[in-house]
């Protein structure tokens, strides 16, 4: 039997999972999959590392499988259908580690209680991330679990980068910039030395462009600034999230539009960003293929805001040696990368068009003062590595 680590990423309506075999020093992906629409029309699918479908299952419309039923299905699939593997530990993606957690940590009841306190800081994600941890603690107390935080990588940022200009009492109470997508940035920081050792020792900006999108300034592999702040709605416009807003807009919506907190939350998380501006879709592929002027406008605004954020992060770094694109859009859209790089010419980026069309990894010319790269992220592998390390 080969020892294996399961990685779980539980959201409001889905649980994604991966299984890694511990082969000596390496961690090899064996299977990945997800249970989706777990409260409405649940479906399950699992694929092998090379993309071959291993199992699918659907439940009747209206079945409320929930996190509990979904987790049960995933665990029994791993036990009954994945042969030759012995599940030794589980690593979880947890969005918020608060002020305290700058490293992944082994789960026990005290930690779970501690992380439940942070639900108020990330009400849309934290409760769902914690649901499978709680269930496994109850059902399989002997199975070691490790919580890996999206905020942890940014805890090393200089104090100034973490501050809002608010009264100290609020800062002390935890109202600060946390930054998110930390597991993705940490993974990129771990592979950048293989591609561009000089930039890895120097200054780079990583663009994680997916449905959620953010950017992070790395100095010698450590996060020094990021576009997301107190919550994952800050910074860049995203699929459905607004990104940074003048706080006065929120007051206007409260006072003049009579909206309450929940209605504003729904607006800025679910109805804004690419979807809100275009009125067409939150999906970048759809927008790039659309003739609608508002679809074009949404993409133009996206590119413009990335350019503004890039200038800000390059200023925080005092210069720039490399740009790195990752996430669904960053890894797959040559058009978005080309437009971002063109706007970054003032920072010394010269795009190699053919290399960009081919998907990289290097997409800047040999003469480009600042390099540009496409590097696929792998948050699951980062969590599996952390889980192994945290358990010694």
Interacting residues toward ligand ADP by CB under 6 A: 210-212, 239, 283-285, 288, 327-329, 332-333
User: Peptide bond preceding 220: is omega within 30 degrees of 0, i.e. cis?
Assistant: no
With beta carbons less than 8 A apart as the criterion, state whether 33 and 60 touch: no
Which residue, 55 or 332, is less far from ligand ADP as judged by CB?
332
Active site residues: 150
The vertex-234 CA angle with 233 and 235, nearest 5°, equals 130
Minimum distance from residue 331 beta carbon to ligand ADP (Å): 8
Q: In this structure, how many other beta carbons lie within 10 angstroms of the beta carbon of residue 321?
A: 21
CA atoms within 13 Å, Cβ hemisphere of 165: 1
With beta carbons less than 8 A apart as the criterion, state whether 195 and 361 touch: yes
Tokens 């305290």 belong to which residue?
Answer: 100
Q: Which residues contact 97 (CB under 8 A, 6 or more apart)?
A: 115, 118, 147, 149, 150, 151, 152, 155
**Which residue number places its CB atom closest to ligand ADP?**
328
Which residue, 47 or 134, is less far from ligand ADP as judged by CB?
47
Minimum distance from residue 288 beta carbon to ligand ADP (Å): 6
Which residue, 48 or 211, is less far from ligand ADP as judged by CB?
211
Tokens 């299977």 belong to which residue?
Answer: 31
CA atoms within 13 Å, Cβ hemisphere of 34: 12
Minimum distance from residue 228 beta carbon to ligand ADP (Å): 13
Which residue, 96 or 208, is less far from ligand ADP as judged by CB?
208
**What is the distance between the alpha carbons of residues 222 and 59, in angstroms, rounded to a whole number?**
44
With beta carbons less than 8 A apart as the criterion, state whether 224 and 214 touch: no
Q: Which residues contact 2 (CB under 8 A, 6 or more apart)?
A: 21, 22, 23, 84, 85, 86
Minimum distance from residue 355 beta carbon to ligand ADP (Å): 17
Which residue, 97 or 328, is less far from ligand ADP as judged by CB?
328
Minimum distance from residue 306 beta carbon to ligand ADP (Å): 14
With beta carbons less than 8 A apart as the criterion, state whether 239 and 211 touch: yes
Minimum distance from residue 133 beta carbon to ligand ADP (Å): 21
Which residue, 370 or 377, is less far from ligand ADP as judged by CB?
377
**What is the distance between the alpha carbons of residues 57 and 186, in angstroms, rounded to a whole number?**
34
Which residue, 278 or 370, is less far from ligand ADP as judged by CB?
278
Q: In this structure, how many other beta carbons lie within 10 angstroms of the beta carbon of residue 299?
A: 21
Minimum distance from residue 278 beta carbon to ligand ADP (Å): 12
Which of 5, 14, 1 lies closest to 40 in space, CA to CA?
14
* Tokens matching residue 55: 């199992």
């Amino acid at each position: 039997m080969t020892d294996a680590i399961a990685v779980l990423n539980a959201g409001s309506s889905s649980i994604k999972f991966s299984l890694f075999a511990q082969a000596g020093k390496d961690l090899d992906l064996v299977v990945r999959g997800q249970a989706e629409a777990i409260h409405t029309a649940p479906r399950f699918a699992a694929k092998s590392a090379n993309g071959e479908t291993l199992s699918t299952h659907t439940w009747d419309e209206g079945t409320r499988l929930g996190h509990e039923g979904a987790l049960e299905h995933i665990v029994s699939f791993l036990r009954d259908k994945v042969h030759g593997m012995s599940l030794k530990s589980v690593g979880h993606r947890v969005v918020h580690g608060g002020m305290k957690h700058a490293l992944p940590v082994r789960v026990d009841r005290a930690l779970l209680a501690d992380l439940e306190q942070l639900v108020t800081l990330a009400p849309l994600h934290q409760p769902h991330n914690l649901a499978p941890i709680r269930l496994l603690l109850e059902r399989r107390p002997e199975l070691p679990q490790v919580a890996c935080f999206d905020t942890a990588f940014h805890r090393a940022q200089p104090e100034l980068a973490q501050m809002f200009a608010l009264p100290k009492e609020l800062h002390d109470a935890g109202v600060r910039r946390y930054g998110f997508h930390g597991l993705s940035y940490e993974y990129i920081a771990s592979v950048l030395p293989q591609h561009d050792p000089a930039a890895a020792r120097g200054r780079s900006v990583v663009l994680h462009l997916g449905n959620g999108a953010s950017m992070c300034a790395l100095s010698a592999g450590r996060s020094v600034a990021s576009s997301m702040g107190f919550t994952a709605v800050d910074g860049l416009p995203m699929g459905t999230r607004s990104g940074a807003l003048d706080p006065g807009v929120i007051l206007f919506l409260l006072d003049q539009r009579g909206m309450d907190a929940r209605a504003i939350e729904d607006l800025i998380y679910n109805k804004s960003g690419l979807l809100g501006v275009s009125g067409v879709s939150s999906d970048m592929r759809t927008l790039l293929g659309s003739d609608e002027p508002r679809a074009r406008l949404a993409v133009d605004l996206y590119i413009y805001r990335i350019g503004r954020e890039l200038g800000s992060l390059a200023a925080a770094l005092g210069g720039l040696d490399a740009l790195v694109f990752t996430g669904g859009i960053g890894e797959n859209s040559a058009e978005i990368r080309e437009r971002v790089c063109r706007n970054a010419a003032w920072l010394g980026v010269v795009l190699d068009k053919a290399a960009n069309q081919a998907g990289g990894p290097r997409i800047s010319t040999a003469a480009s003062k600042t390099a540009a790269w496409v590097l696929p992220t792998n948050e699951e592998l980062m969590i599996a590595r952390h889980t192994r390390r945290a358990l010694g």
